[in-house]
């Protein structure tokens, strides 16, 4: 059973509109992941939306505008700058949000096959010997590892740039052509490695809370490949259904392994997970030779989780429903979400003219007391009090995860003031301060100022840049308008006869980003 999950924004890379080009099939494949995660969140009863990104620069304005604090990260690559996808988690954190999957540091390291292999080798883990062939400089054939070789682009995913021609027996001219092909097609260095082992194995891992579960290992079986066709999981085997490679490559899970090899696989997979500092989920790919020696080919943070993939097959083999996996990732991200800085979190004690004011998040037990405050101010009609009651109930039910952020200021453990604010839909970082109320018996003590300053600090923490307050033009609201003016709010609009004939709406605004830049 799962508790109530927070609202989730699913983000993914938008596939290119073109029908051809390097990697277009794998780009389209992300849409299957989106469907699977969306269906899982539906089954879990979790609120969710989906947003597609064509470029990393689209992420900051999206984060500034969205109320969700948890993002399910399915961004795998961007067409012009594939490596930029690794920066998504760091940017989310900078906006006070948390996303599922691996960190930017882990993804950046794993995406560079040369650096990742060096780190794994230094940790004592077995990797194939290899050399790097840069694009601009010549490369030394005297330093080549033992043949046969396999040539790969340094920083591609989903087996892009790998096919039968990538495997080279001993011919140096053929090797040079394979390297030149990588340089020309991908404009990045080529990794030349010894082509090791006869069996292709992989191990999926995922995290529930603090526990890392090693799923049943799987083996890729190459049916009818013969001796002349290299037994590799190339791009065609993954993404081209009409190809021989796709139709004659199948996955067996659990893999038929003897106990010693299976245990060695699990140890190496967990060690690779720890060495690259993975979290949430990853897949480690291996080759095994006839003597039972293992070689780590790659560590894949955030691997493909479409329904027909090896990772999901391993979940099924372990008896883990896909929605349980999705829920675990959302819960992990929720626990990792950035916390407010000391002094500006869920409770605060800003200074007032009479000492400290204790401000805390509203609780369900505060409903009657806060409604009584609203009524006793004498400023609100009965229909307005009904709206306040609806807002209070929703805020109490949803708490920190809801749209309405509702806080009270206490005196002797009793609410004597209330403020409610939330993001304005379809804006980038603009927030409405919907209600601010102080009991008549506690006015002129600085509690209203303390509530307003607290709300502004919370809005900044959530990436907000502007606060909007609306009030009436009626004479009895003169002190209210003066209060906002003294708090540096500027009247930016006046809507004639908005509330009633002769009762205009006054719109006040404050640019919080300017204040923040001066701190």
* Distance (Å, whole) CA 491 – CA 468: 10
Q: Six-digit token pair at 271?
A: 């060690």
Averaged pLDDT, 139-146: 84
Per-residue pLDDT at 193 exceeds 60: yes
Averaged pLDDT, 441-454: 90
pLDDT confidence tier of residue 384, bands split at 50, 70 and 90: confident
| Per-residue confidence (pLDDT) for residue 515, from 0 to 100 | 47
Give this prediction's pTM: 0.70
Do residues 306 and 76 make contact, with C-beta atoms less than 8 angstroms apart? no
pLDDT confidence tier of residue 23, bands split at 50, 70 and 90: low
| Per-residue confidence (pLDDT) for residue 476, from 0 to 100 | 86
Per-residue pLDDT at 139 exceeds 70: yes
Choose the weakest-confidence range: 48-57, 62-71, 196-205, 297-306.
Answer: 62-71
Per-residue pLDDT at 337 exceeds 90: no
Cα separations in angstroms, 499 against 53, 65, 506: 41, 28, 10
Averaged pLDDT, 458-465: 84
Averaged pLDDT, 443-450: 89
Better pLDDT: 378 or 52:
52
Q: Six-digit token pair at 2?
A: 């799962």
Per-residue pLDDT at 267 exceeds 90: yes
Q: Tally the C-alpha atoms within 13 A of residue 330's C-alpha that lie toward its C-beta.
A: 28
Residues in contact with 443: Cβ distance below 8 Å, sequence separation at least 6, in sequence order:
none
Per-residue pLDDT at 344 exceeds 50: no
User: According to CATH, what is the number of the domain 351-518?
Assistant: 3.40.630.30
If DSSP codes are grouped into helix, strand and coil, which group holds residue 214? strand
Residue carrying the six token digits 């500027």: 490
pLDDT confidence tier of residue 498, bands split at 50, 70 and 90: very high
pLDDT confidence tier of residue 352, bands split at 50, 70 and 90: low
Choose the weakest-confidence range: 251-255, 304-308, 428-432.
Answer: 428-432
- Count the neighbouring beta carbons within 10 Å of the beta carbon of residue 2: 14
Per-residue pLDDT at 168 exceeds 50: yes
Long-range contacts (CB closer than 8 Å, 24 or more residues apart) made by 375-382: 376/439, 376/440, 377/437, 377/438, 377/439, 377/440, 378/440, 379/476, 379/477, 379/480
The helix (run of H) or strand (run of E) holding residue 326 is: helix 322-336
| Per-residue confidence (pLDDT) for residue 273, from 0 to 100 | 97
Choose the weakest-confidence range: 250-259, 272-281, 309-318, 372-381.
Answer: 372-381
| Per-residue confidence (pLDDT) for residue 339, from 0 to 100 | 64
| Per-residue confidence (pLDDT) for residue 24, from 0 to 100 | 66
Burial class (CB in 10 A: 0-12, 13-18, 19+), 425: exposed
pLDDT confidence tier of residue 80, bands split at 50, 70 and 90: confident
Do residues 276 and 301 make contact, with C-beta atoms less than 8 angstroms apart? yes
Report the percentage of the chain scoring pLDDT > 70: 93
Per-domain residue ranges of the chain: 8-101, 108-336, 351-518
pLDDT confidence tier of residue 364, bands split at 50, 70 and 90: confident
Q: Six-digit token pair at 427?
A: 């804006």
Nearest Cα to Cα of residue 69 among 109, 99, 39, 112 = 99
Per-residue pLDDT at 157 exceeds 90: no
Averaged pLDDT, 220-243: 84
Report the percentage of the chain scoring pLDDT > 90: 56
* Distance (Å, whole) CA 370 – CA 376: 10
Nearest Cα to Cα of residue 91 among 111, 71, 67, 68 = 71
| Per-residue confidence (pLDDT) for residue 342, from 0 to 100 | 42
What does DSSP say about strands 466-472 and 430-438: parallel, antiparallel, or unpaired? parallel
Orientation angle between helical segments 104-111 and 113-122, nearest 10 degrees: 100
Averaged pLDDT, 57-63: 91
User: According to CATH, what is the number of the domain 108-336?
Assistant: 3.30.470.20
Averaged pLDDT, 306-321: 95
Averaged pLDDT, 445-466: 89
Long-range contacts (CB closer than 8 Å, 24 or more residues apart) made by 388-395: 388/435, 391/420, 391/434, 391/435, 392/362, 392/366, 392/367, 392/420, 393/367, 395/362, 395/420
If DSSP codes are grouped into helix, strand and coil, which group holds residue 309? coil
pLDDT confidence tier of residue 17, bands split at 50, 70 and 90: low
pLDDT confidence tier of residue 232, bands split at 50, 70 and 90: confident
* Fold observed for domain 8-101: Rossmann fold (3.40.50)
* Distance (Å, whole) CA 172 – CA 458: 63
């Amino acid at each position: 059973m799962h508790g109530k999950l927070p609202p989730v924004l699913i983000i993914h890379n938008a596939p290119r509109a073109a029908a051809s080009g390097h990697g277009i099939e794998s780009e389209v494949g992300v849409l299957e992941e989106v469907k699977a995660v969306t269906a899982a969140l539906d089954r879990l009863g979790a609120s969710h939306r989906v947003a597609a990104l064509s470029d990393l620069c689209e992420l900051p304005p999206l984060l500034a505008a969205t109320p969700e604090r948890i993002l399910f990260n399915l961004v795998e690559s961007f067409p012009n700058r594939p490596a930029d996808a690794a920066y998504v988690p760091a940017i989310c954190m900078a906006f006070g949000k948390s996303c599922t999957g691996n960190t930017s540091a882990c993804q950046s390291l794993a995406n560079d096959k040369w650096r990742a292999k060096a780190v794994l080798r230094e940790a004592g883990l077995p990797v194939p010997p290899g050399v790097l062939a840069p694009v601009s400089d010549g490369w030394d054939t005297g330093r080549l590892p033992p043949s046969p070789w396999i040539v790969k682009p340094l920083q591609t995913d989903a087996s892009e740039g790998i096919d039968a021609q990538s495997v080279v027996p001993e011919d140096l001219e053929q090797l040079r052509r394979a390297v030149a092909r990588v340089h020309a097609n991908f404009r990045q260095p080529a990794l030349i490695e010894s082509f090791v082992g006869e069996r292709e194995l992989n191990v999926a891992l995922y995290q529930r809370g603090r526990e890392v579960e090693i799923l049943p290992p799987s083996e890729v079986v190459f049916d009818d490949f013969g001796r002349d066709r290299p037994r590799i999981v190339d791009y065609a085997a993954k993404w081209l259904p009409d190809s021989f490679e796709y139709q004659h490559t199948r996955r067996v899970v659990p893999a038929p392994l003897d106990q010693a090899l299976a245990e060695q696989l699990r140890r190496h997979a967990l060690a690779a997970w720890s060495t690259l500092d993975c979290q949430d989920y990853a897949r480690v790919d291996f080759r095994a030779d006839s003597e039972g020696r293992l070689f780590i080919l790659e560590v894949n943070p955030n691997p493909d989780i479409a329904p027909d993939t090896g990772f999901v097959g391993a979940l099924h083999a372990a008896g883990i429903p896909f929605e349980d996996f999705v829920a675990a990732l959302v819960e992990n991200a929720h626990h990792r979400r950035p916390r407010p800085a000391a002094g500006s979190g869920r409770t605060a004690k800003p200074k007032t003219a009479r000492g400290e004011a204790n401000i805390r998040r509203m609780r369900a037990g505060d409903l009657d007391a806060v409604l009584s405050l609203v009524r006793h101010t004498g400023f609100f009609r009965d229909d307005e009090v009904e709206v306040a009651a609806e807002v209070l109930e929703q805020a109490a039910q949803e708490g920190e995860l809801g749209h309405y952020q509702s806080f009270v200021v206490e005196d002797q453990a009793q609410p004597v003031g209330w403020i409610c604010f939330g993001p304005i839909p379809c804006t980038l970082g603009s927030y409405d301060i919907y209600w601010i109320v102080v009991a008549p018996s506690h006015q002129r003590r600085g509690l209203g100022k303390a509530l307003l300053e607290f709300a502004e600090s919370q809005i900044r923490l959530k990436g907000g840049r502007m606060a909007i307050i609306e009030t009436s033009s009626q004479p009895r609201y003169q002190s209210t308008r003066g209060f906002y003016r003294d708090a540096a709010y500027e009247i930016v609009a006046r809507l004639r006869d908005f509330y009633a004939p002769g009762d205009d709406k006054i719109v006040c605004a404050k640019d919080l980003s300017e204040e923040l830049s001066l701190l």
